[in-house]
Amino acid sequence: AGRGKQLTLCAVKTAALQLGRPIIQPDKMREAMDQLRTWQPDLILVAAFGKLLRAEVLTLPPFGCLNIHASLLPRHRGAAPIPAAILSGDSETGVTLMKMDEGLDTGGILAADSIPITPTDTASTLTARLADLGAQLLRRRLPDYLDGKLTPIPQNDSRATYAPQLKKEDGLLRFTESAESLERRVRAMSEWPGAFFDYNGSPVKVLRAHVRPDRVAAPGRVIRVEGQPAIGTAEGSLVLAEIQPAGKKPMPGASYLNGNPAFIGAQL
C-alpha cells in the first residue's frame, strides 16, 4: 500500500501482466510446487522474495536457483539490506548474484557490483539505484553463468552481518543516540516504517533532517536553529527540516514552529 493506504501492484507483477505472463502468489512455497513442476523451469531467479526456498525447489531446475541480493554479501544478509547499509554508515553497497542454498543468503557468489552511498541517499533512492544495478548485472553475467563460465565462490561466513526484517519500532528516534546516527535512521526508514518521535502522546514523522554538531542541548530538548526546530542528542543536534505530525500533511519544520511555538523548549 502507498501513503494513501491504497493497494498497489509491485513492479514485477505489473510487468508480468503487461507481457501476459502467468502469475502465482502462494502463501507457502509448497502450494506452488505442482505449478513449478508443470513449467519445468531451466532456472529460477529470485529477487526480494523474502522466503527461504525448500530443497525440492532448489533442485528442480537444471541450472539451480539464483538470487540477486541488494548488498555486498556476506554483509547484510537478510530481509532489509538497504536500510541496514544506511544505518551502518557504509560508504558503499551493491548487488550480489549468488547460487542459492537452503541457508539465508548463504549461497556461493557468482558476481557482484558496487555503488557509493551518498550522504543524501534514502532507502527509497538507494532501492531504485540498486534495482537498476541489479538489472545491469543480470544482463551482463547471466549469459556467462548459463554458458558455464561462472563458478560459485563460497562466502566468508566470519564476515557476515545480518539485516533482519524491519519492525514498526525500528523507526523510533531515541535522542540518547548521536545526531549522526539518528539522521541515518531518518534516511534508512524512509520507505517503511518511517522515522518518528512522540510529542504530547502522538507520533511525529521526520521526513528530512540534518546534523548540527556545533549546537548542543540536552538529549531530547527542543531548541531553535536558524528558524527550524532541532532536538538535542547525545552528540550534536538533529535539525528537523521536514516533518509530518499525526493526521497532518508533510510540512517544513519552520512552518510547524509558526503554528506551534510552544514546541521550543519541550523535552521529548
Query: Domain containing 143 — which CATH number?
Result: 3.40.50.170
In a domain, 25, yes or no: no
In a domain, 27, yes or no: no
Average of per-residue pLDDT across 238-264: 97
Q: Do 140 and 176 share a domain, yes or no? A: no
Q: At 203, which CATH number?
A: 3.10.25.10
In three-state secondary structure terms, 223 is: strand
In a domain, 68, yes or no: yes
Residue 46, beta-bridge partner list: 67
Q: Is 41 exposed, middle or buried (0-12, 13-18, 19+ CB in 10 A)?
A: middle
Instruction: Assess contact for 179 and 236: CB atoms under 8 A.
Output: yes
Q: What is the pLDDT of residues 155-212, one digit of tens each?
A: 999 999 999 999 999 999 999 999 999 999 999 999 999 999 999 999 999 999 999 9
Q: Do 65 and 145 share a domain, yes or no? A: yes
Residue 2, pLDDT > 60, answer: no
**Beta strand ranges found along 36-136 (DSSP E):** 44-47, 65-69, 92-99, 109-116
Q: Do 154 and 54 share a domain, yes or no? A: yes
Q: pTM surpassing 0.85? A: yes
Q: Return the pLDDT at 32.
A: 84
Residue 28, pLDDT > 80, answer: no
Q: Do 178 and 256 share a domain, yes or no? A: yes
In a domain, 10, yes or no: no
Q: Do 152 and 172 share a domain, yes or no? A: no
In a domain, 140, yes or no: yes
Tell the residue number behind the cell numbers 566468508, with chain if given. 156
In a domain, 8, yes or no: no
Find the domain containing 212 and state its range.
Answer: 168-263
- Looking at 159, 182, 211, the residue that finishes a domain is 159
Q: Return the pLDDT at 5.
A: 52
Quick one: pLDDT band at residue 1, thresholds 50, 70, 90? very low
In a domain, 181, yes or no: yes
Bridge-based pairing state of the strands 92-99 and 237-245: unpaired
CA dist., res. 20 & res. 212, Å (int): 52
Q: Return the pLDDT at 6.
A: 60
Q: Do 220 and 125 share a domain, yes or no? A: no
Nearest alpha carbon to residue 146 among 30, 25, 45, 260? 45
Residue 111, beta-bridge partner list: 97
Residue 197, beta-bridge partner list: 204
- Looking at 103, 134, 159, the residue that finishes a domain is 159
In a domain, 223, yes or no: yes
Q: Do 113 and 51 share a domain, yes or no? A: yes
Number of domains in the chain: 2
